[in-house]
Chain A
Amino acid sequence: MTHRLSWFIIFWLVVVFAFLYTPIISVVIYSFNASKLVTVWAGWSFKWYGELAKDRQIIDAALLSLQVAAISSTLATILGTIAGYVLVRFPKFLGRTAFSGMVNAPLVMPEVITGLSMLLLFITMENIFKWAVAGLADSGMGATSEVVRVLFGWVEGRGFITVVIAHVTFTMSYIAVVMRSRFLVLDLSLEEAAQDLGAKPLKVFFVITLPIVLPAIISGWLLGFTISLDDLVITAFTNGPGTTTLPQVVFSKVRLGLDPKINALATIIIAIVSIGVIIATIQMRRAEKQRQRDEQMAIRALAKA
């Protein structure tokens, strides 16, 4: 089945991989440059990693970004998994086309539009909130007004929660697409068999469906996490003054020119991601090999019998 690759194709694979990796590798190498001038080589050094560790602004922003990413990716995984399941298992319901459109569109929607529209929504919500609180207080329902203030006070001024909501909304699309393709290849008769044996639909979902698709859920969560961690534009629109995320700090520094500390930061991110992806790939290959071995064993056992 494997046809001999032509020389052109091999050459092309090499060229494109060089194109994809040259910038990344150059960042990694320059992060160990002793010189303050990023592009002038002055010998190996770990100095910028030390500087990075002392930069409170970057550390704080990174911690905030990790929090936002963890919370929003978790929520987005729940919503995205349900959305993916609905798309595959419920082929007909009122508003299905609209639903599928709303699931797919955020994936490609230019970020400036998503960001702007979400901000305008939060501002509208804030206006409605203020009007409701004031109205309730005026009409002597101070207690109710207080309840509304506690429940919906987060829309005022924007901050952590609005950023999380925005991130959930656009990352859930990515996760829904991942989950949708997983559910597509999930044999429907597994769920039917569980029902046939007496399990109610909700229980079937938690005892059969979820455990089987767990690996896809984990990779969906990781995807959501990295996308959220990386987002600049939508965050810029939806955050408040107190919530500056890592990409925003990086962006403002980069706009002022090259900064060796950013190279160090980039190298750390690249290292974490590479190690994670490589471990995941090895793990998957090992599981696959184990499965093949098991199957061969079963066949051999059968041949002997």
Chain B
Amino acid sequence: MASSVSAAHASRLPASHWMRDLLQALGIRGRTLVIAIPFLWLFLYFFVPFLIVLKVSLAFITIAQPPYTHFNEAGHLVFNIGDSYGRLVSDSLYIKAYWNSLVVAATSTVICLLIGYPFAYGIARCSPSVRNILLMLVILPFWTSFLIRVYAWIGLLKNNGLINEVLMAIGIIDSPIGMMNTNFAVYLGIVYSYLPFMILPLYANLEKMDMSLLEAAADLGCKPLKAFFLITVPLSFPGIVAGSMLVFIPAVGEYVIPELLGGPSSLMIGRVLWTEFFSNRDWPTASAVAIAILLALVIPLMIYQKYQDKELEKES
């Protein structure tokens, strides 16, 4: 080894490379390039489309391909607020659907929380090996098709479906209860489909919680149930917020569940958008509906974003 001591560490100059030179000449560093790839993709395919939706919401309907134009009959370029947005405020159908969506999403979120919290708590308190199996069982339905899970409920809820058959067989009811095509079915579908989104962030939060805090509370004379509300619940607040946003935001615009399980009275705004777009071919109104949904979701989206950033900060 002694001889190698004197061997000087070969000092190397950075290899010159035409591509690096070119980028350097343009003032672009490798880091910028790495950021730019996903940034530009999302900017073009996620952000710009919203601007176009805003633009189309101010257009006139016309019989053409695509079925909208920004010019009025006189051929002038006009921002047409009256047709699309005017319809939203004047026609009670839209207001009812809008309000109903918010109510359904909020109620479903609360139900998901009430079901999911004790459930996530229970999993988090199991021994690690059992915990992993239970967690896998929660995630498993999430990996199977969403559409098929909603479809499965039709078979259960129908008049001659499994639930009615069973209830009649044991003699609780004499004639089938009409559950399909009701608001009840819509709630059931939403809670069922979105429950894992509530459970997983709650579990992640509760699992990390230090059990010695509860022991300390007990040691200081706090009864278990009181300790649960004074210690566990406040500490799991970030998990509650994350889970609630993951359920509420997409549920507001839900289309498939009300379409398949709900009746004609289960008006939800996502369904209205779909009908305006595909059936009525009224793209400006569909776009205005989209903008209206977004307006309702701005604050929840910001809360959700803040939570995500906080998690990132906390971990790093």
Residues in A lying within 8 Å of B, measured CB to CB: 1-3, 5, 8-10, 12-13, 16-17, 19-24, 26-27, 30, 37-40, 79-80, 82-83, 85-88, 90-91, 93, 95, 99-114, 116-118, 120-121, 123-124, 165-166, 168-169, 172, 176, 180-181, 184-185, 201-202, 226, 229-230, 232-233, 236-237, 247, 250-251, 254-255, 258, 262-263, 265-266, 269-270, 273-274, 276-278, 281, 285
A121 partner residues in chain B, CB cutoff 8 A? 44-45, 48-49, 52
Interface segment out of the listed B79-87, B233-241, B304-312 = B304-312
In the complex, besides A176-B38, A202-B30, A232-B256, 17 extra interface pairs with C-beta distance below 8 angstroms are: A12-B119, A23-B152, A24-B144, A27-B148, A30-B155, A39-B162, A102-B39, A105-B46, A112-B253, A168-B45, A169-B41, A172-B41, A184-B312, A255-B259, A258-B155, A269-B148, A273-B140
Contact of A12 among B122, B246, B259, B283 (CB under 8 A): B122
Q: Is the beta-carbon distance between B126 and A79 smaller than 8 angstroms? A: no
A166 partner residues in chain B, CB cutoff 8 A? 45
- Chosen A-B contacts, 12 in total, with CB atoms closer than 8 Å, are A8-B118, A82-B38, A100-B305, A105-B305, A110-B250, A111-B255, A113-B253, A117-B52, A120-B49, A251-B147, A269-B144, A273-B144
A113 partner residues in chain B, CB cutoff 8 A? 53, 253, 273, 290, 293-294
CB of B260 within 8 Å of the partner chain: yes
Per-position contact with A for B254-278: 1 when CB-CB < 8 Å, else 0?
1110011000000000100110011
CB of B104 within 8 Å of the partner chain: no
Known contacts A90-B31, A109-B249, A273-B144; is-contact A117 B152 (Cβ 8 Å): no
How far, in whole Å, are A104 and B297 apart by their CA atoms in the complex?
14
- Chain A CB count within 10 A is highest, among B49, B129, B304, for B49
Known contacts A117-B52, A274-B140; is-contact A87 B312 (Cβ 8 Å): yes
Chain B contact surface mostly:
helix
Min C-beta distance of B137 to chain A, whole Å: 6
How far, in whole Å, are A10 and B134 apart by their CA atoms in the complex?
12
How far, in whole Å, are A108 and B312 apart by their CA atoms in the complex?
18
A27 partner residues in chain B, CB cutoff 8 A? 148, 151-152, 155
A13 partner residues in chain B, CB cutoff 8 A? 119, 122-123, 134
How far, in whole Å, are A251 and B278 apart by their CA atoms in the complex?
15
A116 partner residues in chain B, CB cutoff 8 A? 53, 273, 277, 286-287, 290
B147 partner residues in chain A, CB cutoff 8 A? 230, 232, 247, 250-251, 254
